[in-house]
Structure 1
Amino acid sequence: MSHPPGPPARAPALDLVDWGRTAYADAWRRQEELVAARNDGRAADTLVFTEHDPVFTLGVRRGAEQNLLWDPAELARRGIALVTTNRGGDITYHGPGQIVGYPIVHLAPRKDLHAYLRFLEEVMIASVARFGLAAGRNPGKTGIWIGKRKIAAIGVAVKKWTTFHGFALNVNTDLAPFTGIIPCGITAADGTVTSMHLELGRPVDLAAVKRTLAAEFRARLPEFFAGATA
């Protein structure tokens, strides 16, 4: 028996904020404050954008520190900080020209982290497609890729089913610092790292990319939660 379609899913409330350029440790602290506010009902789901001062961040994956190739003296010479975090994943780089997105989203209606990671990938795949780039998934690896070139990384954490940390999309990023690590454990045989600038052969307007990411995130969030009862 067929059933008439139900009412369209209503978009969840979503605040959008841009912190500009931040030190990683300060942004982490501010995320923790937002997570506490979301869990206490003092804040709505929030999508935060920022660009970080140059930093290597280590995730909770075992052996992540072994993928750091530069010693402390080299890090100091290049002005790159090193921070151990509580997000998932391996080691990665954040720096100017890279859009970092921190969704502070309460997942209690759909407690499925794997589906949430796929949702973030879909948001970025659709976003870069609007700029003419055909990105996709790499089986067994989180993030999005153009062929064997990784253009975005994902690493998340949750507290009481509210997410924090998130994704990093290389837009106009200087890719040289990635030579100081084995990014996300990706060896030369696995692939390399790229950016929208490199793929398109021109600088890309960061504000336009942020608007696109926000629009795709907002449009797809009801679909993600609808999957809880699909």
Structure 2
Amino acid sequence: MPDSQKEPSVPTSKLEVVDWGRTRYSDAFERQKAMVLQRREGQIGDTLIFTEHHPVYTVGLRKDADRHLVWSEAALKAAGIEFVRSNRGGDITYHGPGQVVGYPIVSLQHKRDLHAYLRDLEETVIRTMTYFGLETGRREGKTGIWLEDRKICAIGVAVRSWITYHGFALNVCPNLQHFSGIVPCGITDGTVTSMEKELAAPVDMEAVKARLAVEFRQVFLEVGRSDGKS
């Protein structure tokens, strides 16, 4: 458990958890941006969104990320995978069915430390993986959550007016073959894995989302929040 004296990067005593079900990435992106504005104006509180995306490759803001797209436009069309540019941090990644995507829309006004927020987001996923019997961690110089050189969760965030959006994508049971169409996150010295592959057993998506919500609250809570406008 975290040190009870630690100042949380996001106090979430009134966190709302919502599930959008399966969405197109571009639609979810627009909905996030609208919620960022609502959060800034104090119309909504901190919110953790869960969704699964229809198959899509998204490119972040990292320089030369485009070069890590391997498949041709024809191959993408044949596989039914969209290609979308995003304003999140990071390189190129894949989203698709069987992957839990988490989008926290939370205010960092009380503690403007994006690095601390990222570490706490990673900790949320690490604790969730431990709950399911997987010992994961960070990898020096790399983003996301790993089992040695196997990446199980991608993380890419953005902040506007100190309100967070974008977030993490945890591989529960996606089609891992779809990752071969890209160099995932620009990684050339590792592979991509999933909970199902590592556990060699089916994994309940709803159980994973429920545990992520529990761990998010436990990592970020501890101190009551201020309800003033952001």
The answer to whether the superposition gives a TM-score over 0.5 is: yes
Mapping of 1:3-82 within 5 angstroms?
11-82=12-83
Larger-Rg structure: 1
Question: What is aligned with 2:208?
Answer: 209
* Equivalent residues of 2:98, 2:172 under 8 A apart: yes
Moved more, 201-210 or 10-19: 10-19
Cα distance, 1:224–1:72 mapped onto 2, change above 3 Å = farther
Moved more, 166-175 or 10-19: 10-19
**SS at structure 2 position matched to 1:49:** strand
Q: Distance in 1 between matches of 2:152 and 2:123?
A: 13
Question: What is aligned with 1:172?
Answer: 173
Structure 1 runs (4+) deviating above 6 angstroms are none
Q: Distance in 2 between matches of 1:104 and 1:180?
A: 30
Question: What is aligned with 2:199?
Answer: 200
Question: What is aligned with 2:140?
Answer: 139
Q: Normalising by structure 2, what TM-score?
A: 0.91
**SS at structure 2 position matched to 1:138:** coil
Q: Distance in 2 between matches of 1:106 and 1:82?
A: 30
Unpaired segments ≥5 residues, structure 1: none
Query: Residue deviations 1:91-125, cap 9 Å, x none?
Result: 00000000000000100111111111111110000
Q: Distance in 2 between matches of 1:62 and 1:23?
A: 25
Question: What is aligned with 1:159?
Answer: 160
**SS at structure 2 position matched to 1:132:** coil
Question: What is aligned with 1:127?
Answer: 128
* Equivalent residues of 2:151, 2:192 under 8 A apart: yes
Superposition RMSD in Å:
1.9
Q: Normalising by structure 1, what TM-score?
A: 0.91
Query: Residue deviations 1:46-103, cap 9 Å, x none?
Result: 0000000000000000000000001111100110000000000000000000000000
Q: Distance in 2 between matches of 1:141 and 1:12?
A: 31
Unpaired segments ≥5 residues, structure 2: 226-230
Q: Distance in 2 between matches of 1:173 and 1:138?
A: 22
**SS at structure 2 position matched to 1:137:** coil
* Equivalent residues of 1:116, 1:224 under 8 A apart: no
The higher relative CO (CA closer than 8 Å, separation ≥ 6) is in 2
**SS at structure 2 position matched to 1:179:** helix
* Equivalent residues of 1:24, 1:55 under 8 A apart: yes
Count of residue pairs brought into register by the alignment = 219
**SS at structure 2 position matched to 1:43:** coil
